Structure 1
Amino acid sequence: MRARDIKPGFFKNDQLADCSMAARLLFPGLWMMADREGRLENRPKKIKGEIFPFDDVDVASLLAELERAGLIRFYEVNGQNLIWIPQFKKHQSPHKNEKSSEFPAHPDDLYGTIAEHEQTKDGNTPEMVGSAPVISGQIPLTPSSLTPSSLSPRDISTPDGVVVGAEAADASQPDEKRQTHASPACPYDAIVGLYHEAFPEHPRVAIVNAKRRGAMKARWAEAGERLRMLDRDTSAAERLDYFRRLFAKASRSDFLTGKKAFRDGTVYRVDFDKLMSPSGFMGVIEGKYDNREVA
């Protein structure tokens, strides 16, 4: 159990109002059991032993109450049942020395957390901090880790899955050459249009505000960098084709398009903002949401 913060507003939380008294008490107890990313194992007996050692309560039912109220989310990864507290990082400030999460992220959390690299004291292998899990051999990348030297194994993938050796990309595109490329202006409306082509059934992007322009501009620059790694043209037309292929790849994902339901029957549908987030963009490129056959 860890020390966590509880704020005065907790007692007037509208989401908790419809929960039983025991469920309300359980909720902050979960904070103390959760790691720094708000994740913990969904093991009702263990949770009861930690939070209600002297009470005869049905923790599984209480967890279901909190899940129905939207305060926690159930998910499963490789047969491991887990719980994620979506608002955890908004209200908690874990100690800087608290150990990184050992659990893979909830699919929604992949968009909210960017995996960061933190160098160890001896300057050797970096430690992964954040929520992006390694799935099917893919390696989580930060936006700043798009240079070939940072990939292991050393290969680079395009959105449609074409893989080339990074050594070749290194040789053909030295740092000096990459830095001198002029970046074409970001065509915001064209990118939005390509999104709607790939996801015609999704809600329309009605407003392109400063936040969305900033996200598109950042992904536009990253697309140019990846194309340069592949010794490809970085014109506006080539970059737009990159976005077209990326959106098409995302549209084939059963998870991102709501065709794959969670155990509770709910589904997830990706939106434009999440595809334009750093982790969402890289998640599609790395194949994190690709359909996989069940053995």
Structure 2
Amino acid sequence: MSRIRSIHPGIWTDEQFVSLSSFARLLFIGIWNECDDKGLFPWSPLQMKMRVLPADNVDAVALMAELEANGCIRKYEIGGKSYGAVRNFAKFQRPKAPNDIHPATDEILVFAGHSLDKSTKASEPLPNDFPNPSEKSPQMEDGEEEIKEKIETNVSCASGDAPLTVEEVVEGWNTTAASLGLAQIRKLTPVRRKKAQAQVRRFALEEWQSVFAKISQSPFLLGQTGGWRCDFDFILSENNFVKILEGKYDRQSPGSRH
């Protein structure tokens, strides 16, 4: 569940922030919405892309790698699961009822700006804080509410060093579908799972991202040129997936769907 976050005005002139590419800057701010209140999030470029940049044909793996190389976020693993942390998150976000969802080591908590000793002041700021450290006290967050939610425990990393999972693809589809008014997956039946597993083996993360982006930009697939709308079962066909990927439905007439 996305959360309300504050944007400190000093960030727009921070040298480290402005050195990022435009989409990396946008994704970085969007990641704040997807973090728990410690500044931690499941490391899944596909899910993050679908939540923050669903209509943009961008490479989320490359963007997150850029953010990590720039020191904005850090990837780590606990219990075989991959997570990310936002640098100095706790220094500039002040939720009124903080939650505690994702695990982290002491080193990661310090990276995210937490003090390990509650009786002392916060640990020294890391170099290149966000926002600009020349600003006065961090902006307090308004309107944050504690949200009880279930977090999927089977989320795995969708980067090049770990396989894409069916659950990530379904989450990506549901996020995209919700924003576009398309039918979401309510039940992952055995038949759907089998087909999805085959598609996950055939196509890479970047190809799934491209397909979701093309769907969001196709009047035909969105049902704007006729009564039919694209659904998850449609893209589980290898032929249909390839047609979308190759741009067949970018300017497709209603009479030639298959």
TM-score by length of 2: 0.42
Higher normalized strand content (fraction of residues): 1
TM-score by length of 1: 0.37
Structure exhibiting the larger radius of gyration computed from Cα positions = 1
Q: RCO (CA 8 Å, sep 6+): is it higher in 1 or 2?
A: 2
